[in-house]
Amino acid sequence: MNILIVDDAPEVRIILKKTLENQGHTVTTANDGEEAWALFSSTRAFQIVISDWMMPKLDGLGLCKRIRQETNSKYTYIILLTGMSGKTNLISGIAAGADDFATKPINSEELEVRLRSAKRILDLEKSLAKQNEALELANNKLQSMATTDGLTGLYNRRAFQENLEESLLFSRRSNQAISLLLIDVDLFKSFNDTYGHIKGDTALKTVASVLKKSSRNSDFVARFGGEEFSVILPNTDKQGAMHCAEELRRAIEAAEWPDRKVTISIGATTVKYEQLKAEVTTEVPTEVITKVLNEADQALYQAKETGRNSACHFIA
């Protein structure tokens, strides 16, 4: 193991260093707590610190506290060497973060036993860290699966609904408008009937990719369901919403389609959400969300009625 010895007595450092190296450990020494802290904070490579309690400049308790305040994820096992005894001293050492204590002078057999104990603790800490990392990765994967559409890789409807509510709350706090685009792939049923569902799925994935690439980084692009998609546009007024809608429409129209040209129809609505007096401050009422969706859906219907491959904004 990689061990740092800290003691202001040269003879103690020499004896401990030789003893530990004979046991197969890598050893670095420091004259006091300040030098030890400089070594520790610059390398963060020490698994164990064996420190004298009483030292000039920075004593063992002070060094112990600094190490425990360090945010480094790897755990460091700390043994304090002391000639002092008594319950009060033991409590203060534990409070500072010490793992173990040894009375000076310490013999090699006792030191070896304490280091074996330290290794068991460090191995356990390492194992727990790996388990926590694996658990975090699993949780992240589950979260991704819960909010991601399996076919297109875009956010799914559940994630869309959560983001729409968050966007409306932000609109209320910031007094800024947000816009919503509902997008429908034109005549997609006939595409499926003509070319089959496999090519239909490929077309949907292409639409999703083009929408994502053609949207702004701040926009929230999701698959709404079937051949429908949605884009939430934060801090975007009516003019900006129609500009974004036209950009997306032209991008889909200009994409390469091996079977037949694919186009989209887009319905847009813009809202600046204002809180009602009796409204709960941390949630958006269902009727507000429904109203926004209905407005975008009405605009989408108008875009289809006017010949498809077009974008329309809701008019109250």
Alpha carbon 120 to its chain's center: 31
User: Token digits for 173?
Assistant: 């706090």
Active-site residue identified among 125, 227, 228, 247? 227
| Rounded CA separation 61/52 (Å) | 9
> Cβ-count burial of 52 within 10 angstroms (0-12 exposed, 13-18 middle, 19+ buried)?
buried
CA–CA–CA angle 125, 130, 136 (5° rounding): 125
Name every residue whose Cβ is closer than 8 Å to that of residue 222 and which is 6 or more positions away in sequence.
149, 154, 155, 156, 157, 159, 160, 163, 229, 230, 231, 232
- Tell me the H-state helices in 183-226: 188-195, 197-214
Token pair of 311 as six digits: 């974008």
Positive or negative: CA dihedral 72, 74, 75, 78 = negative
Distance CA 148, CA 135 (A): 20
Catalytic residue at 295?
Answer: no
Q: What would you measure as the largest C-alpha separation in the chain, in angstroms?
A: 93
Q: Write the CB contacts of 61 (distance below 8 Å, at least 6 apart in sequence).
A: 53, 80, 92, 93, 96
Q: Which residues are catalytic?
A: 227
